[in-house]
Amino acid sequence: MASPKTHRSGFAALIGRPNVGKSTLLNALTGEKIAIVSPKPQTTRNRILGVVTRPEGQVAFIDTPGIHQAKGELNRYMVEVALQAAEEVELVLFLIEPPASEKPEVSPGNRAILERLQKIGKPTFLVINKIDSVAKGQLLPLIDLYRQEFPFAEVVPISAREKDGVERLFHTVLEHLPEGANVFDEDMLTDQQERALAAEYIREQVLRHCRQEIPYSTAVVVDIFDESEREPRPGTPPNQLGGLIRIAASIFVERDSQKAIIIGKQGQMLKTIGTDARKSVQRLLGAHVYLDLRVRVEPRWSERPEGLKKLGYD
């Protein structure tokens, strides 16, 4: 643990394949829901900053999209976002999960990531997530195997979901960062604007409720974020909502058939998505929320650079 007299600060990127728990870990580290979480791949599309500040130091963690085979403009964009983040930080946290079989192995996807990290040349931790799902005896052979592949600075087994080992991970990260003052104000948690977080919370409900082929083709844009009736009340308990915020958002898909699925029979699916999204956004904003959702078709947006730019991926 860092000495109380030594104040450290810096950036650490969470890197890994899709669905290894990077967003769950970011939320566990910050104690807040900054990144949406879903069992479906490619949930995270942009880099998300989460800042943890303690008396002994400050770590700015950057959650990144899962690195996967980049086919199509959106996939290439997400992989580039992740690799660029790894180049800009002091420390990389490479997340993996234990293999389903008892025999340890380095998957082709993880080996490809390690090759890129070798070229980047930043100090790297091996963070083995989801240790609650395997016997402890399986971890040592896995650690030995990965240490043969890459000169990791540290190996830290955790369960982000159970918050097991998360505090130890934070302090170990802090020990490897340079001495220095905080990069951000002490009360800063994330650089995500409320408008952007609201859009993500809406997309989270699409991921939750819709079929496998729909989420990947979905993007959400907040068209109106009207706070004119909001009532800021410092010190108000979080369960007491202050005022009203009016939000209008567009859910973009690529085909008319996808639009029909999201709307559902007699609009029931869209109503369900809206109801659950509104509850999440209200908790986030501490105010009553009027949420108006529309579903729009933007053909092949995920395949076209101009489509990505139009929907905020640039």
**Quick one: which of 143, 273, 144, 136 has its CA closest to 202?**
273
Which of the pair, 152 or 1, is modelled with greater confidence?
A: 152
Residue 71 has pLDDT above 90, yes or no: no
Q: What is the pLDDT of residue 70?
A: 56
Could you tell me the strand order of the sheet in which 288-297 lies?
A: 219-230, 243-253, 288-297
Contact 249, 202 (CB under 8 A): yes
Instruction: Mean pLDDT check: name the lowest of 2-6, 82-86, 199-203.
Output: 2-6
pLDDT digits (tens, 9 = 90+) for 226-274: 999 887 655 555 556 678 999 999 999 999 999 999 999 999 999 999 9
Locus of tokens 């990965």? 146
Q: What is the pLDDT of residue 31?
A: 93
**What mean pLDDT, rounded, does the chain reach?**
89
For residue 15, what are its two tokens? 């890197």
Q: What is the pTM of this model?
A: 0.86
**Quick one: which of 128, 31, 126, 49 has its CA closest to 85?**
49
Q: What is the pLDDT of residue 198?
A: 95
